[in-house]
């Protein structure tokens, strides 16, 4: 496909974040003076190579309109077409953007709950994947010893961590390929899984542990510390 393809970001944000124990969706929880989702959107909107940032919201999202997003500029485009699962939201977002994004253009799909995304993460992904037609993802090598539990909650086996990576986002694929993958394989937990099911072999691009996902209350504290202490020179 055309190597001069453009870059777009897609952020699925239709979930409720039930594991946070809050009635408010976790993407709208306060974090470092903003909301959780604001930080990632701010980073994506500030990357010069990204032409537009689409955010996929549920049709009944009432929080979005209560926030002031004007500081993020004209790149930000809300889409009220979220689905019941992440995969459905991404698929619906790809359908909704089909008239604005060419089949060969790149879509960088990012978790709404990864607020510590930094510009150098995005640049590393684009630089590492743009010439790799199978796409790719940010990830970090697994460093902890892994245990698989048995049916009684005991250690059943120790799993070798050799060649294991922990997937992060953004995950970057061409619009047409990713849409075809998610139309065919909706029961996946990330976009790479759908691409793998079609026979693609996405590239692993090394990131770092600061690009964490906010899942539990403690994660908010960690994310706040990272955002507050990460210097511009890092």
Would 2 be classed as within a structural domain?
no
Q: Which domain holds residue 139?
A: 7-229
pLDDT given for residue 18 in this prediction:
53
Summarize the confidence of residues 164-181 as an average pLDDT.
Answer: 98
CATH code of the domain in which 151 resides:
3.90.550.10
**What's the rounded Cα separation, in Å, for the pair 30 and 11?**
18
User: For residue 50, is pLDDT > 90?
Assistant: yes
Is residue 234 in some structural domain? no
Instruction: Tell me, yes or no, whether 193 lies in a domain.
Output: yes
pLDDT of residue 96: 98
Of all residues in the chain, the percent with pLDDT exceeding 70 is 94
Contact partners, residue 82, CB within 8 Å, separation at least 6: 12, 13, 14, 56, 57, 58, 59, 61, 88, 89, 92
Instruction: Report if residue 176 sits inside a domain.
Output: yes
- Comparing C-alpha atoms, which of 84, 32, 29 is closest to residue 60? 84
Q: Is residue 155 a part of any domain in this protein?
A: yes
**pLDDT of 101:** 98
Half-sphere exposure for 17 (CA within 13 Å, toward CB) = 26
Q: Is residue 1 part of a domain?
A: no
Q: Average pLDDT of 110-114?
A: 97
User: From the CB of residue 5, how many other CB atoms can be counted at a distance below 10 Å?
Assistant: 16
- Residue 1: the pLDDT is 56
Residue 180 pLDDT exceeds 60: yes
What is the pLDDT, as a whole number, of residue 232?
47
What does the mean pLDDT of the chain come to?
94
Give me the pLDDT at residue 233, please: 45
Q: What is the pLDDT, as a whole number, of residue 167?
A: 98
Question: For residue 230, what pLDDT band results from cuts at 50, 70 and 90?
Answer: confident
Strand pairing report for 203-206 and 146-149: unpaired
Residue whose C-alpha is closest to residue 174's, from 96, 102, 105: 105
pLDDT band at 186 (very low <50, low <70, confident <90, very high): confident
Count of domains in the chain? 1
Mean pLDDT of 86-98: 97
**pLDDT score of 15:** 77
Domain presence at residue 11: yes
Mean pLDDT over residues 179-207, rounded?
Answer: 97
Tell me what pLDDT residue 78 has: 97
What is the pTM assigned to this prediction? 0.93
Q: What is the pLDDT of residues 124-152, one digit of tens each?
A: 999 999 999 999 999 999 999 999 999 99
């Amino acid at each position: 496909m055309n190597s001069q393809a453009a870059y777009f970001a897609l952020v699925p944000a239709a979930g409720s974040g039930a594991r946070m124990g809050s009635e408010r969706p976790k993407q709208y929880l306060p974090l470092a003076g903003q909301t959780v989702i604001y930080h990632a959107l701010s980073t994506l909107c500030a990357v010069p190579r990204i032409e537009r940032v689409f955010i996929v919201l549920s049709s009944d999202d009432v929080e979005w309109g209560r926030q002031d997003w004007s500081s993020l500029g004209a790149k930000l485009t809300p889409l009220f077409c979220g689905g019941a699962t992440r995969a459905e939201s991404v698929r619906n977002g790809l359908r909704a953007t089909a008239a604005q994004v060419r089949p060969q253009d790149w879509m960088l799909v990012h978790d709404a709950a990864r607020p510590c995304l930094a510009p150098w993460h995005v640049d590393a992904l684009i630089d590492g994947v743009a010439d790799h037609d199978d796409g790719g993802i940010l990830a970090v090598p697994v460093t902890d010893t892994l245990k698989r539990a048995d049916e009684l909650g005991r250690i059943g086996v120790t799993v070798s961590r050799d060649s294991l990576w922990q997937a992060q986002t953004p995950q970057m694929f061409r619009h047409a390929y990713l849409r075809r993958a998610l139309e065919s394989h909706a029961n996946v937990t990330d976009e790479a899984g759908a691409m793998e099911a079609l026979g693609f072999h996405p590239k692993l691009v090394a990131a770092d542990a600061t690009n964490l996902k906010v899942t539990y209350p403690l994660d908010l504290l960690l994310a706040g510390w990272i955002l507050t202490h990460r210097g511009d020179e890092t």
